[in-house]
Structure 1
Amino acid sequence: MFSKIKAILSDVEHRHTAINAAIALAIRVFGAGMAFIFNLIIARQLGAEQAGYFFLSFAVAMLLSAVARLGFDNTVLRFTGASANNGLTVKSILLFALRYSLPFAVAIAMILYLAAPFIADVLFNKPLMTQSLKYIAPAIVGLSVVFIVAMSLQARQKLVASIPCQNIAHFFLCGAAVIVLNINTASLALLYLSLSLSLSASFFYWFAVKNLNTAGNTVSSREFWQSARPNWIIILMSQAVQWSAPIIIGVYLVAEQVAFFSVAQRIALLTSFILMAINLVVAPKFAAFKAKNDMEGIRKTALFSVRLLVLSAMPIVLFMLLLPEFLMGLFGEQFKQGAVILQILVLGQAVNVITGSVGFLLQMTGNERDMRLVTIISGCGVLVSVPLFTSLYGVIGAAAATAFFISLQNLLAVYFVKKRLGFNTLKFWQKI
């Protein structure tokens, strides 16, 4: 066994992937821990009802931020990954994306702020949510910036900055404010989250552009838009799969049910933090291999990364499936009602893990159209099935529909990887 591991790691690319994945995983573990603690703080400090308003408003902001980014996040990742050593190119790609997405984000934030009373009262039938929506509106701008900047940093293998930019710094700042100021309402917590995102976005943008060299050329806008358009649909549908369920639950059910689902969802997402860590390493590699037309390098890196995933993530999946009440109970006695929700969502995330980085495989190799089709199918499936199942079976129905379409999305992506790139990531045991 050790001789096989030694033989695999003798390959320079595999060794580089393993080492960088270990670094990314260490940071991701810290990030996942920070996100877990942040959600714990929100649930315990605010209580189930106010936490429900918080998570529901945050889900709205995340979905609208995906709209505002115009598909540039994964496009920035792809193009920067192919030209990571050319500072002028890196900077022009980042500025191009922000030049178009930022005004759009500001406009959407203003619309949400002005429409907050209507949305809270008419759409959600929760008048007390008005202030929460107003205070989360500025976060749409901050979220748009941190996601795009994080992708630029990720493409340059600056993982120590990329991960905190995306999901550590603002949670840390907001969580500290909630504790120190003893905040117990969703609206104030969301205000400090918006402020935290503003600080985080400003700092990491400065970090991303400082000390860049002058090598390379400015980006071709035509080529950039050609990649961004299908990526926009991909991002919107992917975000719909993840964030539309709590929003739909908020329409049909009380705020406490939103809180139970949101906490279960965030715990379930911990099963895929290893996938996210490995994606940080392999996505730029896929783009670089594609630029050199090295299809064998893509295949080997993809299969090797799935092996790492299966070995590291399955124990976490089993732990969550066996002890759901314990995990949910950490957020408060009321949250134990969400134990079954957690088990259902974990099964969906387990499929996400064992299929590997199939989404990035398609997007980084120029097959965005295939991934767009996959996400349209899964996104539309969620948007149709979650309202139906929520009205019939409550929050359990919403969880089942969400888990099913997360699984379907990844299995369809596996099919297109096999069709376009010639290998099946589910057969991770095959020789590499």
Structure 2
Amino acid sequence: MIAKARQYVTTHVDSLASIAIRIGGVGLGFVITLFLGKELGPEAVGQYGIITQTGMFLSMLCVGGLDLSVVRSFSEARASKRLPALNSFINVIGLLCGLLGIVMVLMFALANIIRAELLENSAIPLAIVFLSAITIARSFTRLTGSYLRSQAFYIFGNVVEILIIPVIVVMLILARITETLSSVLMATALAGLFASLVGVGVSLTRTSRSPEAMAIPMRPLIKRAVPLWGVAVSKNLSDWYSLAVVASVLSLYEAGIFRVAMQVASALPVITLGIFSVFSAKFGMAHTRGDFAEVARLARSATALSVLLVVPVGILCTIFARPLLQVFGPEFNDEFIVLQVLILGQILYVCTGPSGLVLAMTGNERINLLFTVVSLAALLVLLPLTARYVGLLGMVIVMSVILVIRNLASLAAVRRLTGVNILTGKYHPAARG
């Protein structure tokens, strides 16, 4: 038994380390929220959440889809035991900078609307500047983290993307250097820019100017990224949109409460994302070889590992939802049912496996995009209606139901299009459409 456990840990060391890093990132995020909630109240949590979540969403407009496409394309170099060409990496960075330039122009053009609709004309100094810096930083850390994972730097890629920023911010909070909302936002922005420099610097060490280096053509990379972009933006739009709806339809106070519940519930998908971030490159390599049996085996392993790590934690969080929220302040614990609904939705999502990711990494990006766009359209229509007429609880029920239905549809599509049964780990060639 001990030998089997040791073998299991050795086999999945990258996934387990990735999970640990992502859980660490979530834990550090809790520390930031705990500080804001206890010292400054739910409204400050709502303001910080709106700015950082908007930055994450805008960064996804730039790098969404590009990150997974980079993993898939640059993994081919590693599969051929060569380093990617330096020019190929520079081309990707140049593309990102161009996209960021467009987003920055639009952001400053709409600055007054952002302040009025999302921040209730908050008096946070330099709010748009902080938002810009966070957008740029998150774009670079996500892209370079993906590139490093494509080169088998799984752990460090996740450190760049997930851990560096909150570590710096929490250190500054504990040192009492940041004690106001503005100073926490400034620390977040500066830490993000530092993490970006680290990501780019280390990524450059994994490129080569040698004639033997593998040039990655940009046209297929971009062509593949476009449908993946739609999926990534749609998924992140739903996260941002839900918070924006609460802030706009209800209040920043309730947005703070919703933000805390979402952060607690996000411990579960973070575990899943940690697993899938490692398996994505492995899916890409298996598909490049045309080995669908290996794709099926990997998908089953990812699902089993997710269920093993997520379900027990989810059950505990559901049982202790009220005391978990009370830690952030007495204003938060009355909304424990909201947290329970969010956790239940995440448990059901995890149990249906990495369906969307398998579709994306096996050339079925458009199907994945279709499911995501349909679910997003439902969210765009239903969330403001349920928030206005039913309240916060009704809104999170709708969010959870749509999430689960989308993954069930993806699960069926994977079986139909690839012959892969994610839940059993079997490949059925005759089932392929």
Q: What corresponds to 1:57 in structure 2?
A: 51
Q: Partners of 1:360 and 1:93 in 2: how far apart? A: 24
In structure 2, how many angstroms separate the alpha carbons of the residues matched to 1:426 and 1:129?
51
Which whole-Å deviations, capped at 9, do the CAs of 1:115-155 have from their partners, x for residues lacking one?
A: 3333222x247011664344222211111111111111122
1:152 corresponds in structure 2 to 147
Pairing of 1:368-379 with structure 2 (within 5 A)? 368-379=365-376
- 1:410 and 2:404 correspond: no
CA distance in structure 2 between the aligned counterparts of 1:368 and 1:259, rounded to whole angstroms: 35
Is 1:287 the counterpart of 2:277? The answer is no
Structure 2 residue aligned with 1:99, among 94, 98, 115? 94
Counterpart contact for 2:303–2:353, Cα < 8 Å:
yes
Give 1:93 shift: 4.5
- Structure 1's consecutive aligned runs of 4 or more residues displaced over 6 angstroms after TM superposition are 428-431
- Displacement of 1:235 in angstroms is 0.8
What is the distance in 2 between the residues matched to 1:152 and 1:25? 18
Alignment of 1:109-188 (within 5 A): 109-121=104-116, 123-124=117-118, 126-128=120-122, 131=125, 132-181=127-176, 183-188=178-183
Moved more, 334-343 or 141-150: 334-343
Q: For the Cα contact (< 8 Å) 1:272–1:349, is it kept in 2?
A: yes
1:259 alignment partner in structure 2: 256
Q: Partners of 2:109 and 2:15 in 1: how far apart?
A: 44
Deviation for aligned residue 1:260: 0.8
One-letter code aligned to 1:28 = R
Q: Of 292, 313, 330, which aligns to 1:333?
A: 330
1:159 deviates by: 2.3
**Amino acid paired to 1:105:** L
Could you tell me which residue of structure 2 aligns to residue 38 of structure 1? 32
| Aligned residue number for residue 396 of structure 1 | 393
Q: 1:417-432 maps to which residues of 2 (within 5 A)? A: 417-427=414-424
RMSD value, Cα: 2.6
Q: Please give the alpha-carbon distance, in whole angstroms, between the structure 2 residues aligned to 1:153 and 1:397.
A: 41
Distance 1:225 1:430, change over 3 A: closer
When structure 1 is superposed on structure 2, of 105-114 and 63-72 the one drifting more is: 105-114
CA distance in 2, matches of 1:16, 1:299: 20
Contact 1:355 1:411 in 2 (8 A): yes
Residue 355 of structure 1 corresponds to which residue in structure 2?
Answer: 352
2:431 counterpart residue number: none
Distance 1:124 1:21 in 2: 37
Equivalent residue number for residue 22 of structure 2 = 28
In structure 1, which of residues 301, 306, 323 is the aligned counterpart of residue 303 of structure 2? 306
CA separation of 1:135/1:281 partners in 2, compared to 1, >3 Å: closer, same or farther?
closer
Task: Specify the code of the residue in structure 2 equivalent to 1:143.
Answer: R
Deviations 1:10-52 (A, max 9, x none): 8xxx886423323333333333322332332333343211111
Distance change >3 Å, CA 310–CA 429, structure 1 → 2: farther
Match of 1:323 in 2: 320
Match of 2:361 among 361, 364, 370: 364
Q: Which of 392-401 and 320-329 deviates more?
A: 392-401
Letter in 1 for 2:271: I
SS of the residue aligned with 2:78? coil
Tell me which amino acid in the other structure corresponds to 1:386: L
Task: Work out the CA distance in 1 between the residues paired with 2:206 and 2:293.
Answer: 34
- Give deviations 1:339-398, integer Å, cap 9, x for gaps: 111111111211221122222211111111111111111111111111111111222122
The change in CA–CA distance for 1:91 and 1:40 in structure 2 (over 3 A counts) is farther
In structure 2, what is the Cα distance between the partners aligned to 1:117 and 1:184? 27
Change beyond 3 A, Cα 1:247–1:87:
farther
Given residue 247 of structure 1, which amino acid in structure 2 is its aligned partner?
A
| C-alpha separation in 2, matches of 1:17 and 1:242 | 33
Task: Tell me how far apart the structure 2 counterparts of residues 35 and 366 of structure 1 sit (CA, whole Å).
Answer: 35
Question: Once structures 1 and 2 are overlaid, which stretch shifts more, 128-137 or 217-226?
Answer: 128-137
Q: Does 1:75 align with 2:72?
A: no
Identify which range, 46-55 or 210-219, moves more after superposition.
210-219
CA distance in 2, matches of 1:281, 1:202: 23
Q: 1:182 to 1:334 in 2, by over 3 A?
A: farther
After TM superposition, give the deviation of residue 91 of structure 1 in Å: 4.3
Structure 1 residue runs of 5 or longer lacking an equivalent are none
Q: Percent identity?
A: 20
Normalised TM-score (structure 2): 0.90
CA distance in 1 between partners of 2:71 and 2:107 (Å): 28
Write the distance in 1 (CA, Å) between the matches of 2:85 and 2:402: 35
Q: Is the 8 A contact 1:362 1:371 kept in 2?
A: yes
Call closer, same or farther: CA 1:244–1:38 in 2, change over 3 Å.
same
The 2-side partners of 1:201 and 1:125 are apart by 27
> For the residues of structure 2 that align with 1:217 and 1:33, how far apart are their CA atoms?
39
Alignment CA distance shift 1:93-1:45 (3 Å): farther
Q: Which amino acid aligns with 2:175?
A: V
- Whichever residue aligns with residue 132 of structure 2, its letter is A
Q: Answer yes or no: is the 8 Å Cα contact 1:302–1:356 preserved in 2.
A: yes
Quote the Cα distance in structure 2 between the aligned partners of 1:253 and 1:184. 27
Is 1:209 aligned with 2:204?
yes
Mapped partners of 2:174, 2:51: distance in 1: 20
Is contact 1:390–1:398 with CA below 8 Å preserved after alignment?
A: yes
CA contact (8 A) 1:94 1:149 kept: no
> 1:207 is aligned with what amino acid?
V
CA-to-aligned-CA distance 1:42-91 (integer Å, 9 cap, x gap): 33343211111110111211111111225211111111223226554264
- Taking the aligned partners of 2:36 and 2:88, their CA distance within structure 1 comes to 36
Report the alpha carbon displacement of residue 324 of structure 1 after superposing the two structures with TM: 0.5
The answer for unaligned runs of 5 or more in structure 2 is 429-433
Deviations 1:248-271 (A, max 9, x none): 111111111111111111111101
